[in-house]
Structure 1
Amino acid sequence: MKNKEAHILLVEDDPLVVTNLLHAFEVLGIENPVHVAATGKEALNMVQGKGKAALSPTPKIILLDLGLPEMCGLRFLEELRKDEKLRPCCVFVITGPGTDQEILKAYDFNVAGFILKPVNNKSLQEMVATLQSYWDLIELPN
């Protein structure tokens, strides 16, 4: 990834998915710092610095599950987009099958993509490789 300094925030409550995604990053040689939050509330606190110092630098890329405890992914997106400092974050929803309403709502919050979670590790690695290609092509905000 040309933006090797771009920090990534993975918001996922399933430890197996977290492990598999981190493994896919490793296999593909993606060395960007990855921060993990298990809930939307925890993720929001991490980027806004509530309760402790905010992540620095702010993650430029967020991989977000919608089905989260405490604060669902759509609510997290709503709060993220209200924050002037966090609006530029590039968010990819990576979740199970969603309803048309959930998909439209996610795009209303300017997500970069709505991706269904792959069912096996090979598909997961292909998804991460596609995301890496996309990240290599675009300019992320400073």
Structure 2
Amino acid sequence: MASRRTGESVDILLVEDNPGDVRLTQEAFAELDLEDALYVVNDGETALDFVNQRGAHEDAPRPDLVLLDLNLPKIDGMTVLDEIKTDPELRRIPVVVLTGSGAQEDIVESYDRHSNAYLTKPIDPEEFVDLVGSFEDFWLSLVELPPSNQ
């Protein structure tokens, strides 16, 4: 899908294993009245199944954008990032690392593996809503996303 400027919704995959952070993200999207579809998976293996539309996720939409935590069970976020960015059918999907780590080595490694952005989750819920609002302003209103079917 293009962008929200064209009036189309955007399918967003949130890859997050912390139920509190999932709830906070969902609440922030609801508070900002975002109409986009937010799908949630809680481990790296399921994230790869979702983006590849296999197994229980064979009917899932190909996400237009992935919000990816790094510390995940089964398959870690860096490996998920590698798998997406090295697959010719998936690599155009923007991947935004959204994690609790502000460690320089994680930031550098994420960009080395071709993440499109790196955001550190704030602890304060109001700051988190502000972060999601900024994210929405940029990624869902200004950026032209590639079509998800190509």
Q: TM-score, normalised by structure 2?
A: 0.88
1:73 is matched with 77
Figure out how many residues of one structure are paired with residues of the other and give that number: 141
Distance in 1 (alpha carbons) for counterparts of 2:55 and 2:23: 26
Deviation at 1:20, TM superposition (A): 0.7
Deviation at 1:103, TM superposition (A): 1.2
1:124 equivalenced with 2:132 (yes/no) = no
1:140 equivalenced with 2:145 (yes/no) = yes
Identical-residue share of aligned pairs (%) = 33
1:92 is matched with 96
Deviation at 1:98, TM superposition (A): 4.0
Distance in 2 (alpha carbons) for counterparts of 1:123 and 1:99: 20
Moved over 6 A (4+): none
Distance in 2 (alpha carbons) for counterparts of 1:113 and 1:7: 18
The SS at the match of 2:106 is helix
- Note the residue ranges of structure 2 that are not aligned, 5 or more in a row: none
Deviation at 1:54, TM superposition (A): 5.0
Deviation at 1:16, TM superposition (A): 0.8
1:30 equivalenced with 2:42 (yes/no) = no
- Note the residue ranges of structure 1 that are not aligned, 5 or more in a row: none
1:50 is matched with 54
2:13 is matched with 9
Distance in 2 (alpha carbons) for counterparts of 1:63 and 1:9: 6
Point out the more displaced range, 81-90 or 68-77: 81-90
Say if 1:23 and 1:97 are closer, same or farther in 2 by CA, change over 3 A.
same
